[in-house]
């Protein structure tokens, strides 16, 4: 083989390799939520709605789809920060019922790992400030910080430090749960818009966001999905400018 032929063949090889890499990246970017993530959507949505019958079905489906017991517990615990203690506690009690029923049927579910300890030598406020800054893409400059410093501290120390700092769920799955809950509630479009932005910041794609809304439409309701679509389109438009 002379040198010219070798150079040509090498060029073809690297072109094919490059095309394969680009195609793989595009495929990754167009993937829908996986079945476990879709279960997080329904669990969060029905917890937020307070629809315990449908939540019971969603919890069973989540376990069957591979979510661990501790991952589901984590979703239900996180929900109290967005839906209040009553809805979160009702969700947890419903999960206890589901677990008891499955145990009586001889179903052995994977418990999963516990959360790692929070970083030593760092307060919840310090950790939460770091996490919030990472999620929103910079310091939080909302007007409520100065108007009510207490809520700012609670958000940073407790929501982002104590809750988001727990590593049983990653930031993507926590945002999927949050977006699903907010989508299922009325009167929270500003918060939904904020968390859709955070979802993009942590690597969720437009396709995944739209898939999340399609799950809401299929399982929860068209009204909720239509509202979420309007908010999502506003977020996509603002991020493209």
Residues 104, 165: Cα–Cα separation, whole Å: 34
Specify the pLDDT at position 32: 94
For the cut 60, the answer to whether the pLDDT of residue 123 exceeds it is: yes
Question: What is the arithmetic mean of pLDDT over 72-97?
Answer: 98
How far apart CA 14 and CA 156 sit, in angstroms, is 48
Query: What is the model's pLDDT at position 30?
Result: 53
**Are 145 and 152 within 8 A, CB to CB?**
yes
3-state secondary structure of 177: helix
Average pLDDT over residues 18-26: 36
Q: How confident is the model at residue 18 (pLDDT cuts 50, 70, 90)?
A: very low
Is residue 129 within 8 A of residue 95, CB to CB? The reply is no
Q: Is the pLDDT of residue 17 over 50?
A: no
The string of pLDDT tens digits covering residues 127-152 is 999 999 999 999 999 999 999 999 99
Per-residue confidence (pLDDT) for residue 25, from 0 to 100? 35
52's tokens: 């315990």
Provide the mean pLDDT of the chain.
90
**How far separated are the first and last CA of the chain, in Å rounded?**
53
Rounded to whole angstroms, the Cα distance separating 126 from 181 reads: 27
CA–CA dist 14, 37 (Å, integer) = 36
CB 136 within 8 A of CB 197: yes
Q: Which of 173, 158, 183 is nearest to 203 (CA)?
A: 173
| Helix, strand, coil abundance in the chain, percent, nearest 5 | 75, 0, 25
Please determine, for residue 40, whether its predicted confidence score (pLDDT) is greater than 60.
Answer: yes
pLDDT class for 2, splitting at 50, 70, 90?
A: low
Give the span between the Cα atoms of 150 and 16, in whole angstroms.
57
Per-residue pLDDT, 209 = 98
Q: Is residue 109 packed enough to be buried (19+ CB in 10 Å), middle (13-18) or exposed (0-12)?
A: middle
Share of the chain above pLDDT 90, in %: 85
Picking from 20, 23, 63, the residue whose alpha carbon sits closest to that of residue 40 is 63
CA-to-CA distance for 69 and 59, rounded, in angstroms?
10
Of 26 and 86, the one with more pLDDT? 86
- The CB-side HSE value for 178 (13 A sphere, CA atoms) comes to 25
Name the token pair of 39.
């279960």
Q: pLDDT tens digit string along 172-213?
A: 999 999 999 999 999 999 999 999 999 999 999 999 999 999
């Amino acid at each position: 083989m002379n040198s010219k032929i070798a150079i040509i063949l090498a060029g073809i090889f690297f072109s094919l390799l490059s095309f394969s890499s680009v195609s793989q990246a595009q495929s990754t970017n167009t993937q829908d939520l996986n079945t476990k993530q879709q279960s997080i959507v329904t669990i969060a949505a029905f917890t937020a709605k307070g629809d315990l019958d449908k939540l019971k079905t969603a919890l069973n489906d989540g376990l069957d789809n591979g979510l661990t017991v501790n991952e589901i517990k984590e979703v239900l615990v996180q929900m109290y920060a967005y839906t209040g203690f009553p809805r979160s506690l009702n969700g947890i009690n419903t999960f206890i019922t589901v677990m008891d029923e499955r145990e009586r049927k001889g179903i052995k579910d994977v418990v999963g790992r516990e959360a790692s300890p929070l970083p030593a030598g760092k307060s919840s406020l310090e950790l939460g400030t770091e996490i919030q800054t990472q999620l929103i893409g910079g310091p939080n400059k909302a007007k409520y910080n100065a108007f009510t410093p207490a809520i700012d501290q609670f958000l940073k120390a407790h929501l982002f430090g104590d809750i988001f700092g727990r590593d049983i769920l990653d930031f993507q799955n926590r945002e999927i749960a949050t977006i699903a809950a907010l989508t299922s509630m009325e009167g929270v479009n500003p918060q939904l818009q904020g968390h859709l932005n955070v979802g993009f910041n942590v690597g969720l794609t437009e396709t995944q966001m739209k898939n999340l809304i399609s799950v809401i439409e299929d399982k929860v309701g068209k009204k909720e999905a239509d509202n979420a679509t309007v908010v999502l389109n506003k977020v996509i438009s603002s991020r493209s400018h």
